[in-house]
Structure 1
Amino acid sequence: MGQRSVRGLVWTLVLGLMLEMGVSVAAELRMGVRSRISPWAIAEDNRGIELDIVREALAYRGHQLVPVYLPYTRLKQQLSSQSVDGVLLSNEKLGLEGVHFSDSHVTFHNVGVSLATKNLHVTRMEDISKQRLSVLAFPNARLLLGNEFAAAAKASARYQEIPNQLSQVRMLYWQRVDLVVLERHIFEYYSKEAEREGDQLAEVRVHALFPPTHYKVAFRDEAIRDDFNEGLRMLRENGRYQQIIDHYLKR
């Protein structure tokens, strides 16, 4: 047997032993990412708060993130067909099967936003249906934002969800809806983008209706999930985690 064949056999045996022991091998990971949720994931630049955190946490164990940008409605399908190795911005409420969830890596602060000129007073979920407000939210908001919001959305004949959050923000400024529901940093980011593209902004009122939503990464491979958790812990301990957030939000 030649030297090259011996090396190949040894590597195969080592790889098999590592897999049997639950030790991951450095991998290129195709991960499903929601498009148009800046500043968390900025597809055109292949960066963002969540992308940078996940990329650097995976790199701690030598893994490489390959983002696969998809509409929210296709993420679950791509995961089920094993076209991706996992999905970012997930949690147990989304009903994903055959996955291993990481520790929470990002937290969203979802709010309701209305135009100040409408003088809306929305302090409780039931105000949405009582005032017959037209509401535009992000996909699966009814699943993610709690039972009270789900009930309010169900009771409202004027509730919708759309994946394009720039359009969501514009619909508010164009006075097509009374209230938009989304993460506050996403609202701020797309308000600036709408203004750059010529839209006229207006004063808004922010309604703090929701507790924070904690998101995780869903991995198909448990060992890689463990590697990610270790990398995430290191990012938090050495201060790099907060540096990433500040880079995007403190400008």
Structure 2
Amino acid sequence: MQNKSLKKLLLLAILFGYASFAVSAKPSNSMGLKVAIEKDAPPYVDNRAKRGLEVDVILKSLPGYSITFIQLGWGKIPDAMDRGIANAEANSIKHDDPDKYYYSSYYIGFVNYAISHKGKGYKIDSVDDLVGHDLIVWKNAHLVLGPEFKRLFSPDASGRKNYVETQNSKDQVLEFWNNPDSIIIIDKSIFMNFSIIEGHSMNKVDIHKIFLPVTKFKMAFKGEKARDDFNKGLALLCSKGEYANMLKEYGVPKKANVCP
């Protein structure tokens, strides 16, 4: 009888040990992240942030974390941590007090073009040629599209006369198709996706070959450890060639590759 009792106690101890290990193997609360990210903009963010290139890069760079995406307009992402609704921000533009947060390596790039309605005959050979047109961009685009664009289209600059900023990519594309005189500055992959969804053909537009920089973004984190873990995971995606494979999977040009 004594031996049977000892065996039962030993079995219970083993089972308790396995249960404790299983619990400890799950991400703790400190490994949970609420990430403020833009509203759907395929192929980068799609299906309410359940898939897309940008979503996949974030998830695969932080495999040990439990991540919840909070979708916001572009203008509302930069203060999501200040407002306490997130502890990480995608597409980060540095805050007024950058020392409060931890910034990652560049993790995503958007390949931008100036696009107009076919048949308008607009001569757009430089950023200067955009001045005077009905220009449709995203919120705070002047901060990331290069020094010449910033000079001409910052708030109170001369080029802002016919300048429209939208809060998400879908509204930006819809605004373009509703205004036959407009020019849109946008990532070509995003423009194609939303235009096709709305029943428009790329044969109805002209793509102007002016130099616009690939806009590369960092993540901003409230905690240093999460930032460091993200950078390590991102570096691994790059070194294994997985980042390049994801670009192919989502039909994003090689030019958007942020890997060193």
Q: TM-score, normalised by structure 1?
A: 0.79
Is 1:150 aligned with 2:154? no
Residues of 1 paired with 2:97 and 2:117: CA distance?
36
Residues of 2 paired with 1:240 and 1:201: CA distance?
30
Q: Provide the residue aligned with 2:126 in structure 1.
A: 124
> What letter corresponds to residue 51 of structure 1 in structure 2?
V
**What SS does the corresponding residue of 2:125 show, helix, strand or coil?**
coil
Q: Provide the residue aligned with 1:174 in structure 2.
A: 178
CA contact (8 A) 1:173 1:201 kept: no
C-alpha deviation, 1:64, in angstroms:
2.1
C-alpha deviation, 1:232, in angstroms:
0.6
Query: RMSD of the alignment, in Å?
Result: 2.4
Q: What are the within-5 Å matches in structure 2 for residues 32-71 of structure 1? A: 32-44=36-48, 46-59=50-63, 62-71=64-73
Residues of 2 paired with 1:86 and 1:224: CA distance?
9
Q: Deviations over 1:165-198 (max 9, x none)?
A: 2232233333344200111211111111111xxx
Residues of 2 paired with 1:135 and 1:239: CA distance?
37
Q: Provide the residue aligned with 1:240 in structure 2.
A: 242
Query: Which runs of 5 or more residues in structure 1 are unaligned?
Result: 8-23
Is 1:164 aligned with 2:168? yes
**What SS does the corresponding residue of 1:103 show, helix, strand or coil?**
strand
C-alpha deviation, 1:37, in angstroms:
2.2
C-alpha deviation, 1:85, in angstroms:
1.0
Residues of 2 paired with 1:122 and 1:95: CA distance?
34
Q: Provide the residue aligned with 2:205 in structure 1.
A: 204
1:107 to 102, 106, 109: 109
Residues of 2 paired with 1:81 and 1:175: CA distance?
35
**What SS does the corresponding residue of 1:224 show, helix, strand or coil?**
helix
Q: Provide the residue aligned with 2:9 in structure 1.
A: none
C-alpha deviation, 1:149, in angstroms:
1.1
> What letter corresponds to residue 42 of structure 1 in structure 2?
D
* Structure (1 or 2) with the larger CA radius of gyration: 2
Residues of 2 paired with 1:169 and 1:31: CA distance?
25
**What SS does the corresponding residue of 1:33 show, helix, strand or coil?**
strand
**What SS does the corresponding residue of 2:119 show, helix, strand or coil?**
helix
CA contact (8 A) 2:49 2:55 kept: no
The alignment-based identity, stated in percent, is 23
> What letter corresponds to residue 212 of structure 2 in structure 1?
F
**What SS does the corresponding residue of 2:243 show, helix, strand or coil?**
helix
> What letter corresponds to residue 223 of structure 1 in structure 2?
K
Residues of 1 paired with 2:144 and 2:173: CA distance?
20
Q: TM-score, normalised by structure 2?
A: 0.77
> What letter corresponds to residue 102 of structure 1 in structure 2?
S
CA contact (8 A) 2:38 2:168 kept: no
Instruction: Give aligned pairs, total.
Output: 221
C-alpha deviation, 1:26, in angstroms:
6.2
Q: Provide the residue aligned with 2:193 in structure 1.
A: 189
> What letter corresponds to residue 205 of structure 2 in structure 1?
V
C-alpha deviation, 1:201, in angstroms:
6.0
CA contact (8 A) 2:136 2:184 kept: yes
**What SS does the corresponding residue of 2:36 show, helix, strand or coil?**
strand
Residues of 2 paired with 1:212 and 1:36: CA distance?
20
Q: Provide the residue aligned with 2:139 in structure 1.
A: 139
CA contact (8 A) 2:146 2:213 kept: no
Query: Which runs of 5 or more residues in structure 2 are unaligned?
Result: 1-12, 18-27, 253-260
CA contact (8 A) 1:171 1:177 kept: no
